[in-house]
Amino acid sequence: MVYNTGILVPLAAMSIGASYVCVLYLLAYKRSLQPPYAHVSKETEGRKALQRVVQALAVVSAVAMLSFPHHPWITTTDPFLQSGLRVLCFFYACELLDLGLTKADKPPTRLISKDKLDDESERQPAPMQTFRDWTVYSWLLLTEMRYRSFDIAVKQKGRPSNVTEAALDRKQHLLWTAGPPLLLPALVFLLPSHATNTA
C-alpha cells in the first residue's frame, strides 16, 4: 500500500501554527483572569492547570517547530529556502518558549495611553473584555519583539525609549522594517560563501 506523504508538510505547518495561536490566546485568556481585570486575589487550581497546559503546549510546539525543517520531505528542497526556514523556525520557537515558560505565570499587561492624541501621556491597562481585545493582545505578543506595548517592555541603554510608530521617522522605520528581509538575501547572492554554494 502506498501512502501519499505530500499532504504531511501542509498539515504539519498548519498544526504548528494552530498550536502557536492557541498558546497566544491562552495567555490572553489567563491575563484576563488576573487583576486588574478580575478581582480574585488567590490562585485557583483552574488557573494553575491552565498555566501547566500553556507550558506543555509551548514546549511541544517549540520542539515541533525546531524539528520541522529537518524532516526528509523538507530537506530535499532548495538550500536557501531550507536555511531561511530553519532561521524562522528557530526564532519563533525561542519566542514561543519565552512566552510559554517565563510568562505563563503572569502574562504581561498591554498598556495604552490615557489620552489617545498624546502618546507621551500616562499609560493604563488596555481592556480585555472582548474577543477583539484578546486578538489585539495576541497579535502584539506575536509581532512585537521588544514588547513595546506591554508593561515588560525592553529598555536598553543607547536606544530610544518606547515610542509609537507614529513618532518614529518614517524613513527610519521603513529602513529597519523592510531593510533586513531585502538586504540579507541580496547579500547571500552577491557575496556567496562556501555554505551557500554547496547545493
**Tens of pLDDT along the chain (199 residues)?**
555 666 777 788 888 889 999 999 999 999 888 888 887 666 688 888 999 999 999 999 999 988 888 777 666 667 777 788 888 888 889 889 988 998 888 899 998 887 665 555 688 888 888 999 999 999 888 888 778 888 887 666 655 554 554 544 666 667 767 777 777 777 777 776 666 665 5
Q: Cα dihedral angle (147, 155, 117, 134), rounded to 10 degrees?
A: 20
Give the helix/strand (H/E) hosting 151.
none
Given this model, what pLDDT does residue 41 score? 60
Q: Where are the domains of the chain?
A: 8-167, 168-199
For residues 12 and 87, give the distance between their C-alpha atoms in angstroms, rounded to a whole number.
17
Given this model, what pLDDT does residue 134 score? 92
For residues 18 and 72, give the distance between their C-alpha atoms in angstroms, rounded to a whole number.
22
Given this model, what pLDDT does residue 124 score? 87
The dihedral sign for the CA sequence 157, 137, 30, 67:
negative
Given this model, what pLDDT does residue 165 score? 47
